[in-house]
């Protein structure tokens, strides 16, 4: 097969990659303009985990049993476990091609920690607990990389008021990643190479309000307004050099798992559930920002509770499933219907109309596996994130309850496929669902 190089820019939106909004791109723009170009429609939910693994298995989150980074087992209130590579039961693109004898390189694709054996080499993703853990395959690759580039940096703290520190650390992390990828591209044998950079997502969450002039809380800043453009420029300059070292006939894919847009605020889902009579607390926390825990809840009078995040997960206190469940199974569907209707009526802080979208997993996926929530909720079509904490004097927060965060996820990402030999007809091809990308990539490899 001809070589295939996939550059994954986590959360990169079409308006930056395709339209150059606020950023001067050269190499990325040149490739995208000469590509078969799609608007990528992300999965439900449009979150890094599960979105990348949906792309590289062709399975929906329901089929994978993965609905986010954190999950709970029935009976728990808060998270029980964090998703990792052992939860991925479907074969990935690199598994399938590896079995056919292709040499594969996988860097930073979530979730690939802990590392599994592959026919090639692998460096795990941002879910890795730290460089003290095994994070490469083969295992000795870790020593090779650390001798050249130091301990691998998997992620940064980006929800922070220390913006100078965030900027410094996200650039430092990504520069190291770019060096490692360059080294592996040059020194290792590969037919398929996939590299996902999480730093794009981090820099957008931390600096979007300084970058996006349409942000409701936009602030022009002499330093912070330049961070996102300079970050993209760093990747673009690296990509320009990488193109020179890739074999001339390499097919290049530039893609993202979802997009990004301004966060208008956070909706305090559990306080709303309490106001509506679905959640009963023994007493309201005195301090704002308190996490909901099982000891706070009056279980004999609680019907449902929720989780925060870029989308809300609602759980029903179902008899027989939850330790102190009170909702009888015969009333479950009616409870779901009423909750959906009530959530649909939620309006904004100025009584403005919201586009709230509420689904059961069974409405979204052909199969529902794993520990699925009872309801998946997008407040105002993702413009408002869900805040799961308590103790606030309002149900509308101007910002994320988990720390400074300027951006939310958006449905649309990018998928550009560049064939230097011109066998693909370039131009805009409309929208493609993220779970359809897998078959497209397999077909692309089969043709060449």
- The pLDDT tens digits for 205-222 are 999 999 999 999 999 999
DSSP 289-313: TBPP-GGGB-GGG--EEEE-BSSEE
pLDDT beyond 80 at 415: yes
pLDDT at 412 over 70: yes
Q: Calculate mean pLDDT across residues 351-374.
A: 97
In three-state secondary structure terms, 348 is coil
Which stretches does DSSP call E strand in 49-91? Answer: 70-71, 81-82
What percent of the chain clears pLDDT 90, i.e. is strictly above it?
95
pLDDT at 447 > cutoff 90: no
Q: State the average pLDDT over residues 3-31.
A: 97
Q: What number is the average pLDDT over the span 27-45?
A: 97
Looking at residue 181, what is its pLDDT? 98
Say what the pLDDT of residue 448 is: 67
Compute the CA torsion angle 37, 12, 23, 380 (nearest 10 deg): 110
**pLDDT score, position 445:** 87
What percent of the chain shows pLDDT beyond 70?
100
CATH number, span 4-262+408-447? 3.40.720.10
| Residues whose CB falls within 8 Å of the CB of residue 201, separated by 6 or more in sequence, listed in order | 10, 11, 48, 260
**Model's pTM, two decimal places?**
0.97
Domain map (residue ranges) of the chain: 4-262+408-447, 265-404
Q: In whole angstroms, what is the distance from residue 130 CA to residue 380 CA?
A: 36
Q: Give me 376's structure tokens.
A: 């998946």
Q: Please, what is the average pLDDT of the chain? A: 96
- DSSP secondary-structure letter at 390? B
The mean per-residue pLDDT over the stretch 124-140 comes to 97
Given a cut of 80, is residue 253 above it in pLDDT?
Answer: yes
CA distances from 384 to 228, 265, 309, 375 (A): 22, 5, 10, 17
- pLDDT band of residue 1 (cuts 50, 70, 90) is confident
pLDDT of 425 higher than 90: no
Residue with tokens 């969450």: 205
CB within 8 A of 101, min separation 6: which ones?
119
Predicted pLDDT of residue 78: 86
* CB atoms closer than 10 angstroms to residue 72: 16
Burial class (CB in 10 A: 0-12, 13-18, 19+), 425: exposed
- pLDDT the model gives residue 286: 87
pLDDT at 446: 81
Query: What span, in angstroms and rounded, lies between the C-alpha atoms of 53 and 55?
Result: 5
- Which residues 6+ apart lie within 8 Å of 392 measured at CB? 268, 271, 288, 289, 401
Q: CB of 223 within 8 A of CB of 207?
A: no
Rounded Cα distance between 25 and 14, Å, is 13
Ramachandran sector of residue 368 (left: φ over 0; alpha: ψ -120 to 50; beta: rest)? beta
Question: What tens digit of pLDDT does each residue of 273-319 get?
Answer: 999 999 999 998 989 999 999 999 999 999 999 999 999 999 999 99
Helix %, strand %, coil % of the chain (to 5): 35, 20, 45
Q: How far apart are CA 437 and CA 20, in angstroms?
A: 24
In the sheet that holds 396-397, the strands lie side by side as 384-387, 265-268, 396-397
| Residue 363 confidence (pLDDT) | 98
As beta bridge partners, residue 194 has 6, 106
Question: Taking the CB of residue 333, how many other CB atoms lie within 10 A of it?
Answer: 10
150-182 pLDDT per residue, tens: 999 999 999 999 999 999 999 999 999 999 999
The pLDDT value given to residue 423: 84
Q: How far apart are CA 115 and CA 159, in angstroms?
A: 27
**In the block, residue with structure tokens 């990389």:** 145
């Amino acid at each position: 097969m001809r070589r295939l190089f996939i550059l994954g820019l986590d959360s990169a939106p079409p308006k930056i990659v395709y339209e150059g909004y606020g950023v001067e791109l050269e190499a990325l723009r040149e490739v995208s303009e000469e590509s078969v170009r799609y608007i990528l429609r992300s999965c439900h939910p449009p979150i890094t985990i599960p979105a990348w693994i949906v792309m590289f298995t062709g399975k929906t989150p329901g089929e994978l049993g993965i609905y986010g980074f954190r999950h709970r087992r029935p009976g728990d209130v808060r998270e029980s476990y964090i998703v990792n590579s052992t939860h991925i039961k479907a074969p990935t693109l690199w598994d399938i091609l590896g079995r056919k004898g292709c040499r594969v390189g996988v860097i930073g694709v979530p979730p690939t920690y802990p590392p599994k054996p592959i026919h090639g080499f692998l460096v795990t993703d941002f879910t890795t607990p730290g460089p003290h853990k095994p994070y490469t395959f083969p295992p000795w690759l870790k020593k090779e990389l650390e001798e050249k580039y130091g301990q691998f940096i998997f992620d940064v703290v980006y929800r922070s008021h220390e913006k100078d520190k965030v900027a410094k650390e996200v650039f430092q992390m990504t520069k190291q990643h770019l060096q490692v990828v360059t080294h592996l591209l040059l020194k290792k044998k590969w037919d398929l190479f996939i590299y996902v950079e999480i730093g794009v997502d981090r820099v957008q969450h931390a600096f979007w309000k300084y970058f996006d002039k349409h942000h409701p809380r936009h602030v022009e800043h002499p330093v912070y307004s330049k961070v996102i453009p300079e970050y993209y420029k760093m990747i673009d300059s690296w990509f320009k050099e990488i193109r020179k070292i890739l074999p001339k006939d390499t097919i290049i894919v530039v893609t993202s798992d979802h997009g990004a847009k301004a966060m208008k605020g956070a909706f305090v889902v559990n306080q709303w559930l309490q106001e509506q009579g679905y959640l009963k607390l023994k007493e309201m926390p005195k301090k704002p920002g308190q996490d909901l825990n099982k000891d706070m809840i009056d279980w004999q009078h609680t019907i449902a509770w929720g989780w925060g995040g870029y989308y809300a997960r609602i759980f029903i206190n179902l008899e027989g499933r939850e330790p102190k469940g009170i909702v009888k199974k015969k009333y479950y569907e009616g409870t779901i219907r009423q909750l959906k209707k009530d959530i649909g009526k939620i309006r904004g802080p100025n009584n403005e109309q919201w586009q709230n979208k509420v689904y059961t997993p069974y409405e979204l996926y052909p199969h529902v596996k794993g520990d699925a929530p009872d309801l998946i909720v997008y407040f105002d079509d993702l413009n408002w994130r869900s805040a799961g904490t308590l103790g606030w004097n309002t149900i509308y927060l101007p910002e994320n309850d988990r720390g400074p965060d300027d951006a939310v996820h958006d449905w649309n990402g990018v998928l550009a496929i560049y064939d230097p030999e011109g066998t693909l007809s370039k131009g805009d091809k409309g929208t493609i669902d993220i779970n359809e990308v897998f078959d497209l990539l397999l077909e692309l490899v089969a043709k060449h």
